[in-house]
Amino acid sequence: MAIFSLVLVGCSTSGVPREGVNPVTSPAVTAAPSPDVASSGVFVIDCNEYLEAPKELQLYCADGGQQLSKILWASWSKESAFGLATSTKNTCDPDCASGNYDVRTASVLLSDLVTTADGHLVYSRIFLKYDKPLSDGQSEEVVELPTELEP
């Protein structure tokens, strides 16, 4: 069974640290995407747009609490998508407005395709596995992704 790491991000990235953190590569994952990465007809929703194999992805559009950046996709198909990313997640400690950020390398697995009301195929679930536990002790998580564009 493969182990995956993931990083989540929110819609607003102002003040979110991003530089200086590089994804960790694994012998099983290459930095070069597979040939079908940009032409599979499968998307992920990033708040209000459909994206194929994005380099960045907001996971929580309402509050911008978690973002994936520097995403390197090893595969992107109608079965699943797998890659490595830098995850930046607001700890909301002491509160979300002035919180700190956990920045981790994560394996990302997108899965569970659904068809949107306007006919797009989109991934509806993301599984993240962090290279080291977050400040709250969490080392992996599953997030349900939006399956329709934000109004």
53: phi > 0 → left, psi -120 to 50 → alpha, else beta; which?
A: left
Is pLDDT larger for residue 94 or for residue 120? 120
- Name the β-bridge partners of 46: 49
- Are the beta carbons of 4 and 107 closer than 8 angstroms? yes
Q: Tell me the percentage of the chain whose pLDDT exceeds 90.
A: 60
Fill in the DSSP letter of residue 113: E
Q: pLDDT tens for residues 24-55?
A: 433 333 334 444 454 689 999 998 899 999 99
User: Could you tell me the residue ranges of all domains in the chain?
Assistant: 1-151
37: phi > 0 → left, psi -120 to 50 → alpha, else beta; which?
A: alpha
Give the pairing type, strands 66-76 and 81-90: antiparallel
Q: pLDDT tens for residues 63-97?
A: 889 999 999 999 999 999 999 999 999 998 888 88
Centre a 10 Å sphere on the Cβ of residue 13 and count the other Cβ atoms it contains: 15
Give the pLDDT score at 151.
78
> Average of pLDDT values for 114-124?
96
Reported pTM: 0.74
